[in-house]
Chain A
Amino acid sequence: MTRGSPHVLIVGGGGTGGALAHDLALRGVRVTLVERGEFTSGTTGRHHGLLHSGARYAVNDAESAVECIEENTLLRRIAPGSFEENDGLFVGVTDEDMAYLPGFLEGCDATGIPTQVLQPAEALRLEPMLSPDLKVAVRVPDATMDAMRMPLRFFATAKANGADLLNWVDVADLELAGGTVSGARVRDLVTGRTTRIGADIVVNATGPWSEQVASMAGVDVPIRPSPGVMLAVRGRLTNMVINRLHASGDGDIVVPQRALSVVGTSSWFVEDPDDLGVPADHVQRMIDEGSILVPAVRHAAFRAAWSAARPLIGSREDADSGRELSRTFKTIDHAVDDGVEGFVTITGGKGTTLRGMAEVCADVVCRKLGIDTPCSTRDTVLLPHTAVYAA
């Protein structure tokens, strides 16, 4: 990193922003990241903690499935010690689930996700708390991630490589003149002061908030904030991640994590990703559906219920519930799409694909800046999360 190198301002301190800061810092770009709260406080830190194998998307969303299995393999390599590596099972309990099985295995095969079909007795031997009614289980390379500490490793490494990562800094407005974004007016919530940060490129990495931030530059981003409810109960009811062997639906996953089991998720749409609520009927659905997979969910002690907003790409007309929208991601160069220079949006995607999203976005940013240093995040082992708190 040198003083004269171009400056990129990243708005948004979630997994995507952190991974982008890391990628750009490795390419020698001067990076400032602003986040209005604590890092990972928006969507990233609230997810259920699944490191996707991609199997969830193997039938209907092959593009996301391929992204997931590639990043799953890669993240284990660059973030060792960050995952509960106990694999996952897709469990079939009904005839309908069994009808889903052939296409599921085919989809996994086509997208490069390894599977192992287990008979009920075998599955129960591995996971005795599974429903005794199960008809089949398919083992896949899912894992559990700490939804905050794994992404924090990207922040930690970016910081060590010179990126300026500022939490408690809110963007009041983007500076737009003559069709070019040249920086942002930011408010430091710790001091109450408003200052200006100039940048050659501003990247909007605000997930479900990206439509709000894009509107400051007078452009539109087709994002639909789609919250889901999650429920945490006390006790590790299983060691492996347990998924329902059917099309994506409410309460189709139980993720063991630390000394908890997390059941997720539901799906609806909101206008404001800040104001989500936790509908009681959704929590009940997590209990009802989750206990079809792991009956002990129903009687386990409650720990927490909460909501997180997914950033789904698609317009209002595209889908009713969010389940139909792809979970892949998109980089938008607003110079190409809207004639606004100096402004790029990266959105969509999910925790598992944070590094891949950052690579694609950093490629676009670097092309615009005339930087030809290639991405090196695939081979860079990340610092521990604690390094983010280093003086």
Chain B
Amino acid sequence: MTTNGGSTRRLRLHRYRRGDAEPHIEEHDVPADEGTTVLAALRWIQLHRDASLGLRHSCFHASCGTCGVRVNGREHLACVTMLADHEGTIAVDPIANLPVLHDVVVDMQPFFARFPDQHPIVRASEPLAHADAADGIDEHERYEDCIECGLCLSACPIAATDATYLGPAALAYAQRLLEEPRGTDREAILDWADQVNAAWGCHAAFECTEACPSDVRPAQRIMALRRELRRRRARQGREVPEPENGTAGP
């Protein structure tokens, strides 16, 4: 918590414990200043009001992806979302389209189960302008942008109606594997993606790209994945779905 400038903000929390018939709403006033994040406010409640409040967090800087919640209905990482950017009472709810464990914590198991089997997280880094690599380093590397937070899946209107849809994170990840295979089998990834509940399930609403806190642009990647699949189907003499309208996205 940053220093308290004397003002408070009201949070409206989703509370749920296994065995409860229904979730319930609970309101708390928390000390806040212009730098107070939603995560800091939730931690304050946990420390000073109710130690049983269920929260996921780890890195506090938008790198681990554990603290995804819905703030006034929209997907955000609690650690980099300022109370000051939201007006009135601030509703904090668990992300959607995953089972709620307790309070604002969801079970991430079905999220990770959607991904392709291979899961490399280190990729080639984009070169810094005018920089050389040191002797012994062929190419600089860095972590993938995707922080596996599930915000894209939460925002996805298809995932809301079809639990079998693999969803934006997994599909964007598959597209990254095609872009930079790192030893993975491209054909196997294309087979995996060429399904109605995979690349063809997306309705190009671009909500995922809007929700992504880490600039993955999942919707654009799904469209790129479809372009590859169309080309492959054409080569194979199979039916090629029409390009959808609005693939350029917002």
A residues with CB within 8 A of B: 37-41, 44-46, 49, 81-87, 125-129, 139, 144, 146-149, 168, 170, 187, 189-192, 230, 232, 236, 238-240, 256-260, 262, 274-275, 277-280, 303-306, 308, 384-386, 389-391
Contacts and interface: CB of A to CB of B under 8 A. Distances in A.
B101 A168 contact: yes
Of all A-B residue pairs in the complex, the 6 with the closest CB atoms, nearest first, are A45-B58, A306-B60, A304-B61, A389-B112, A232-B61, A239-B140
Contacts of B19: 191-192
B214 interface: yes
A276 to B, nearest CB: 8
Given A232-B61, A259-B214, A306-B79, 5 more contacts: A41-B66, A44-B58, A84-B125, A127-B131, A168-B54
19 contacts: A45-B57, A45-B58, A46-B60, A126-B134, A144-B142, A168-B105, A191-B18, A192-B18, A232-B63, A236-B125, A236-B128, A239-B128, A258-B63, A260-B62, A278-B35, A306-B60, A308-B60, A386-B112, A386-B119
B143 A147 contact: no
B45 interface: no
A138 B65 CA distance: 34
B131 A257 contact: no
Contact of A306 (B61, B126, B131): B61
Contacts, number: 175
Contacts of B109: 389-391
B3 interface: yes
A190 B20 CA distance: 11
Contacts of A279: 3
Given A139-B134, A192-B52, A236-B128, A45 B112 contact: no
A189 B109 CA distance: 18
B205 interface: no
A280 B135 CA distance: 40
B102 A275 contact: no
A189 to B, nearest CB: 6
A147 B215 contact: no
B95 to A, nearest CB: 14
A230 B214 CA distance: 19
Contacts of A82: 121-122
Contacts of B21: none
Interface centre among B64, B80, B101, B214 (most CB of A within 10 A): B64
Contacts of B63: 49, 146-148, 232, 257-258, 260
Contacts of A274: 47
Interface string B116-133: 000111100110111111
B192 interface: no
Interface residues of B, number: 57
Nearest to B112: A389
Of B115, B132, B143, B214, chain A has the most CB atoms within 10 Å of the CB of B143
B188 interface: no
Given A81-B121, A86-B137, A190 B18 contact: yes
Contact of B142 (A84, A87, A230, A389): A84
Nearest to A384: B119
B2 A46 contact: no
A128 B62 CA distance: 26
A256 B102 contact: no
B108 interface: yes
B141 interface: yes
Contact of B2 (A190, A236, A260, A278): A278
Given A81-B122, A306-B60, A190 B131 contact: no
Contacts of A81: 120-122
Contacts of B133: 126, 239
B62 A84 contact: no
Contacts of B121: 81-82, 146, 149, 385
A259 B125 CA distance: 9
Nearest to B53: A189
A275 B57 CA distance: 15
A48 to B, nearest CB: 9
Considering residues A86, A125, A256, which has the most beta carbons from chain B within 10 angstroms of its beta carbon?
A86
A168 B145 contact: no
B17 A191 contact: yes
B90 interface: no
Nearest to B19: A191
A286 to B, nearest CB: 12
Contacts of A192: 17-19, 52
Contacts of B80: 303-304
Contacts of A129: 128
Nearest to B134: A126
A84 B2 CA distance: 31
Contacts of B131: 125-128, 239
A305 B60 CA distance: 8
A40 B142 contact: no
Nearest to A274: B47
Nearest to A258: B143
